[in-house]
């Protein structure tokens, strides 16, 4: 059974930094496309970042230059380093597996809340 367990969220002041972790079991992060998706209160789903199997990284324009996705193969864990946080980054952040060339998302974590507020 695949499980993705996020951690590291919480309340952070604007301009601050936070690192989300996603510990995987039942799949190997180094041989899968891993993705972060967020859901802001009252809004729709928004793709944030993706790391491909070779390790190439991709970012939504809204987070480019501020967020960094990475993985630790030895820990089978994916990370999202978030810096220069803004109020509009407030959301539930989901770690997930994106499959295939069109990146459908078949396994999702439970979500982790990040609140950016003074």
Partner 1 sequence: SYVLTQSPSVSVAPGKTARITCGGHIIGSKSVHWYQQKAGQAPVLVIHYDTDRPSGIPERFSGSNSGNMATLTIDRVEAGDEADYYCQVWDSSSDVVFGGGTKLTVL
**Residues lying near partner 1 in the complex (CB under 8 A):** 35, 37, 39, 44-47, 50, 58, 60-61, 94, 98, 101-106, 108-111
Cβ proximity to partner 1, 17 vs 60, nearer residue: 60
Smallest gap from residue 118 Cβ to partner 1 (A) = 26
Place of tokens 């972790």: 21
Q: Could you tell me if 78 and 34 are in contact, meaning their C-beta atoms sit under 8 angstroms apart?
A: yes
Spatial separation of the C-alpha atoms in residues 92 and 113, rounded to whole Å: 4
Smallest gap from residue 42 Cβ to partner 1 (A) = 11
Spatial separation of the C-alpha atoms in residues 11 and 100, rounded to whole Å: 35
Smallest gap from residue 74 Cβ to partner 1 (A) = 27
């Amino acid at each position: 059974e695949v499980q993705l367990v996020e951690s590291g969220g919480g309340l952070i002041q604007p301009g601050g930094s936070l690192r989300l972790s996603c510990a995987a079991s039942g799949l190997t992060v180094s041989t899968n496309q891993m993705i972060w998706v967020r859901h802001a209160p009252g809004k729709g789903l928004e793709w944030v970042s993706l790391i491909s199997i070779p390790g190439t990284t991709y970012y939504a324009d809204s987070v480019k230059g501020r967020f960094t996705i990475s993985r630790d193969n030895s820990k089978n864990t994916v990370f999202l380093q978030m810096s220069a946080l803004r109020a509009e980054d407030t959301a539930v952040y989901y770690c997930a597996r994106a499959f295939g060339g069109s990146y459908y998302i078949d396994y999702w974590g439970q979500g982790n809340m990040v609140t950016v507020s003074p």
